[in-house]
């Protein structure tokens, strides 16, 4: 995986998180009787999505660094 591909993947993860949170917030506004539940769901979604984002970012950085070391050692 290239650095550009990793950056695109991370941007996509961030974009999908923002879209998901916006959808949950809109639902919380529209469905007033379930507002509290939807806000909790949105909060949990945001926290788990951000945890996934940082985990994927860390793993991608490790993989890119490993590949870079292999290229240097191979030369």
pLDDT of residue 34: 94
- Structure-token match 């993989």, residue found: 63
Domain limits of the chain?
A: 3-74
Task: Report how far residue 30's alpha carbon sits from residue 11's, in angstroms, rounded to the nearest whole number.
Answer: 29
C-alpha dihedral (32, 38, 42, 45), degrees to nearest 10: -160
User: SS3 of 31, please?
Assistant: coil
pLDDT of residue 29: 94
Residues of the chain with pLDDT under 50: none
Q: What is the pTM of this model?
A: 0.83
pLDDT of residue 1: 82
Task: Report how far residue 50's alpha carbon sits from residue 22's, in angstroms, rounded to the nearest whole number.
Answer: 15
């Amino acid at each position: 995986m290239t650095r550009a591909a990793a950056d695109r993947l991370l941007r996509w993860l961030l974009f999908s998180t923002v879209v998901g949170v916006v959808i949950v917030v809109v639902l919380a506004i529209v469905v007033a009787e379930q507002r509290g539940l939807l806000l909790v769901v949105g909060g949990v979604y945001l926290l788990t999505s951000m945890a996934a984002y940082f985990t994927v970012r860390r793993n991608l950085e490790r993989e890119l660094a490993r590949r870079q070391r292999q290229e240097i050692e191979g030369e």
